[in-house]
Amino acid sequence: MVDAFKSIDLFAGAGGLSCGLQKAGFHPIFAAEINETYAATYERNHPGIPVAKKDIRDLSDQEVLDATGLKPGELDLLAGGPPCQGFSINAPIRSLDDQRNHLFKEYLRIAKALRPKVLIIENVPGIISLGKGTVVKAIYEELDSMGYSVQHKILFAGHYGVPQMRFRTVFIAARDRGTIFFPTPEYNSTARANFFGAKELCFNATNFIDQHLKPQTSTWNAISDLPELRPGDSIDAGKYTSPPLSDYQNILREGSERLYNHTCAKLGKQNLERLKYIPQGGSWRDIPHDLLPAGLKRARRSDHTKRYGRLHPDQLCSTILTKCDPHWGSFFHPTQDRAISVREAARIQSFPDNYIFTGNLTTQYEQVGNAVPPLMAAAIGRSVKRMIS
């Protein structure tokens, strides 16, 4: 580990970003996460790494330097995703007045003290249009004043082997105005991006076909080997009942002899009745009108396209949210009459099976949904290594 690239993860959550960066050859040496349950998950999966369990506004620059033994300029990579609730297109208020949207300034404060060779800021696509672009402008101006070159892209998780329709905005900055590299698509995966900046900032896989892209990873590639469950069932530290059935499963099961967090939420009688009518790839439109929730009875059929959806095994999963609740998306299992389990959500996020989530069922789903997909983080990490090298 002595010769490994060193990284620090701020707003670390359960550690998806650190998990992926480790796969790319980075060794995390410090993390900060205010939520104690999320921090406990980070500590369990990254033993020996100091985690500051506090508000970043209370985290002093000197505290980070003391905990890591670093001097300014020695750190290879500072990474983090300031909380994005205020940026999200799903949030009811998207305003510069939302205090959550100013935490990126605290991230930059620590960056000034550490002066890493490279830094990463990741967030939701909605950050691009927030305040009519003033947040993006502020990030660029601040990093430029610190002597960094900076670029940003909207990356699609499917391009890096993640079986999910997930987009993230990623800023990469290089000290001494160095050259910046973003990971180009590795998988022939597509999804419709209907947010501001998508055309200019997203990679188009069709432009990379000559690079022999791998086939898209499907939902079934991710979860087909996992044991059957009934609503409310749980398998934790249980045995696998099937060998790996895909290359993806082989990768995620490596080093894991037991199955953890394979737990799903209970379903009420009404949802169980609705499920009978929803085919693979179907949604609320397939449910008889008299069985629909009151709100959907009034909905136009062009609205809420993914609500009460059953996943199609050959397609990508919806974006994994902090609640795999059928009312908010397509989270019913492709072949079983239940919602997907925490482990299935983690598989779809590309967490390895030996990554164990702590806390109750609600917080486990939250941790998975808030995370950066590790395979996507690994692709970013490989690009950063290229920059540093």
Strands (E) in 178-248, as ranges, are 187-188, 214-215, 234-235
* CA distance to 48, 278, 316, per residue, from 285 (Å): 50, 8, 20
pLDDT digits (tens, 9 = 90+) for 37-85: 999 999 999 999 999 999 999 999 999 999 999 999 999 999 998 875 5
Superfamily of domain 5-211+372-388 in CATH is: Vaccinia Virus protein VP39 (3.40.50.150)
pLDDT value of residue 325? 86
Residue 386 token pair: 């290229």
Longest dimension (CA), the chain: 66
pLDDT band at 3; cut points 50, 70, 90: low
pLDDT value of residue 1? 42
Residue found by looking up tokens 């410090």 in the block: 30
Query: Letter for the amino acid at 6?
Result: K
Residue found by looking up tokens 């605290």 in the block: 106
Residue 124 DSSP one-character state: -
pLDDT value of residue 49? 97
- Can you tell me the distance from the alpha carbon of 219 to that of 242, in angstroms, rounded to the nearest whole number? 17
Q: Please, which residues bridge with residue 214 across strands?
A: 187
pLDDT band at 103; cut points 50, 70, 90: confident
Catalytic machinery residues: 84
- Can you tell me the distance from the alpha carbon of 240 to that of 257, in angstroms, rounded to the nearest whole number? 8
Residue 228 token pair: 């059957």
pLDDT band at 318; cut points 50, 70, 90: confident
What average pLDDT does range 23-42 have in this prediction?
97
